[in-house]
Amino acid sequence: MSSLPAGVMLLDSDQTSNLHMAVDGLSPSQLQWVSGYAAGLAAAGGSPQLAANMKPVVADSENLSARKLRILYGSQTGNAEAIAIALAAEARSRGFAVDAISLADYKPANLKRESLVTFVVSTHGEGDPPDDAELIHDYLFSKKAPELSHLQYSVLALGDSSYVNFCETGREFDSRLHELGAQRIEAVLECDLDYDTAVAGWTERVIAGLPDLLGAEEIAAVPLLHAVKSASVVDKSNPFRAEILANQKITGGSSSKDVRHIELSLEGSGITYEPGDSLAVIVENPPQLVTELLAELQLDGDALVTLGDQQLPLADVLRESLEITAVSLGFLRDWANLLLLSGSDALQSVLDGNDTKALADLVAVHQIIDVVRQYPAHVGADEFAGMLRRLSPRSYSISSSLSANPDEVHLTVAAVRYEAFGSEHWGAASTHLVDRLREGDFVSVFVERNTRFQLPAADVPIVMIGPGTGVAPFRSFVEERVEQRASGDNWLFFGYRNLDSDFLYQLEWQRYLKQGHLRRLDVAFSRDQRKKIYVQDRIRENSAELYRWIERGAVIYVCGDAKQMANDVNDALTDVLTWHGGFDSATAVQKLKELRAAGRYQRDVY
């Protein structure tokens, strides 16, 4: 160890002595186990400490060297990745050989060489695979897919039951692997947004089965290392209360949109983030919506209901803990069953019918209050609360660079307010941030990492396509590249409704353009002329130059609306490759998928 270069050894003399004593006499395979365990602790953010007691570990490191668990994850927002990494760390801590790999970095053909794989895969939008799982999804459903009778597998599917095709990608992986002959270890587990409890149980089941699956035998007791966190970790279960430093409207008075630039203090939190990450905000439902819902159902807000192991007033639970804006499939089924008891099958017929568009529209457009108004029924307070999902944190793309704004994080938030079905509607998170928080107020937050939406090396050119509030992460990108003195060129496509009132961060972009930090800025304001112009139109207008940037190795980023904009931009990029790359449309589509898998076409769409 003394031969290491200066600055590499991070242990003091006592720690070095203790380490030597701990590993003295261990076999090579035991040392490998310790190495894997330490790597798992590092991934989990903890520091190891030997426990005073000795406990048995069911593992045989000699046998495990030949076989291992492969965890393959496909993640759009980072949740699947976090679950996969946590499972790998827990398995390593118990002495098992395991790898966790993004499907973006995995060659699909290698599946025929695997013996034990766990898939953790999310569903994006209306049943689409996440970007990093697109190629393996295509491969599994192609003629190239191999026979997989040698493979044992399980699938954890993540989804959002406010979409009709809930957990569709996970279901497709599970059924297709089974069709190809793979042996299912257990039934696919479908997880909604509130997945912590389900995932914890699944993790234990997976690890409990590893001794049999990996051919390990129980061996003599070995020291069991315990992770002791060196500092409090800010996460979903332990958020940071951040002070609001600014809440500034950045759209003009004539705008049809109310967009805010919100600054929060991170001082004393220890929170760090990278450009491309998101900030999750723990919000409350609009109080006026709670009042309307209670009145519509004729329920007493002071009535006590059971939430976990607590008895709480219904009004408090509806405001702070349960989802009352987004409609889930689970709620619709429960409400339909309630209606059946009163002799009405009106809602059940929608759920059972073949018109998936009607069901999708019901889920996408309605809030809980719209459903109970359209399909009235009598319900008790506890029964109603039991039909609702937990209120999940809302995530926003971070619009600042930590390097440029120490101890701060900035958000760009559009207030969701609209008329529907004869009444006013409000979004939970946006109106909480925009309408009910002022400078000096506090809100609980934590960072969500997005490893699939990050800046490349400083000399690589980037193309940023971000209409509306989708421009948020690109503000952080350019701020960071200015701080880095990055040599790579930056090109921004921005669009919104009107130039005069909706040019978000206009002065900043124009300053960056003048200073050379932006090589190009192309804008599209759809309502400023009779024929609407969007960012995809600007992409096509500049297709030759954009293709030259792609040929130079540029990374393309898209952020914003998934339902319409992202598809339109994808079509425009397909045209760019078709027109200037000499590809037919099918090949151009495949080339885009390959760029996506290589990390050169990254999307943060919602």
- At 58, list the tokens: 């069911």
Give the model's pLDDT for residue 220: 31
Q: Amino acid identity, residue 376?
A: P
Q: Are 69 and 152 in contact (CB under 8 A)?
A: no
CATH number of this structure's domain 24-228? 3.40.50.360
Q: Reduced to 3 DSSP states, what percent helix, strand and coil does the chain have, rounded to the nearest 5?
A: 40, 25, 35
CATH class for domain 287-387? Answer: mainly alpha
Residue 490: partners with Cβ closer than 8 Å, 6 or more residues away = 461, 462, 464, 477, 478, 481, 512, 517, 518, 519, 520
Beta strands 394-397; 310-313: pairing state: unpaired
For residues 260 and 281, give the distance between their C-alpha atoms in angstroms, rounded to a whole number.
15
In single-letter form, the type of residue at position 37 comes to Y
3-state SS class at 181: coil
Distance CA 161, CA 192 (A): 6
Determine the residue type at 572.
Answer: A
Only one residue has tokens 């009352």, namely 324
273, 303, 519: which is closest to 399 by C-alpha?
273
Closest of 480, 489, 486, 478 to residue 554, by C-alpha: 489
pLDDT recorded at residue 257: 95
**Does the global pTM surpass 0.85?**
no
27 burial type by CB count under 10 A (0-12 exposed, 13-18 middle, 19+ buried) = exposed
- pLDDT for 214 equals 87
Contact call for residues 260 and 250 (beta carbons, < 8 A)? yes
**pLDDT on residue 4:** 34
- Residue 583, pLDDT score: 96
What residues have CB less than 8 Å from 170, skipping those under 6 apart? Answer: 119, 121, 122, 123, 155, 156, 157, 158, 159, 188, 190
Number of Cβ within 10 Å of residue 308's Cβ equals 8
DSSP-assigned letters across all residues of 200-239: HHHHHHHHHHHHHHTT------EEEEEEE-SSPPPBTTB-
Give the Å distances, CA to CA, from 289 to 81, 282, 285, 319, 581.
35, 18, 7, 9, 53
Fold of 240-283+393-448: Elongation Factor Tu (Ef-tu); domain 3 (2.40.30)
How much is the pLDDT for 9? 40
Q: Which two tokens stand for residue 119?
A: 């898939």
* Measured distance CA(248)–CA(261) in Å, rounded: 5
What is the CATH T-level fold of the domain 462-605, as seen in this structure?
Rossmann fold (3.40.50)
Q: What are the phi and psi torsion angles at 128 (to 5°)?
A: -90, 150
* Other residues' Cβ atoms within 10 Å of the Cβ of residue 295: 11
Q: What is the mean pLDDT of each run of 10 residues along the chain (606 residues)?
A: 38 53 48 51 44 36 57 89 94 92 93 95 87 92 95 96 92 97 96 93 94 64 45 87 98 96 97 97 96 97 95 98 95 96 93 85 92 96 97 96 98 95 93 95 96 95 98 98 98 97 98 98 96 97 98 97 93 98 95 92 92
Tokens of 278: 């998101």
* d(C-alpha 529, C-alpha 109), whole Å: 51
Contact 105, 84 (CB under 8 A): no
| Confidence (pLDDT) at 24 | 52
d(CA 593, CA 572): 14
Q: Retrieve residue 478's tokens.
A: 């350019």
Which H or E element spans position 155? strand 152-158
Domain positions in the chain are: 24-228, 240-283+393-448, 287-387, 462-605
Give the residue from 3, 23, 327 showing the smallest Cα distance to 164. 327
**Which pLDDT does position 34 carry in this prediction?**
56
Q: What is the pLDDT of residue 18?
A: 54
* 161 Cβ neighbours under 8 A, 6+ residues apart: 192, 193, 328, 329, 330, 389
Same fold, 24-228 and 240-283+393-448: no
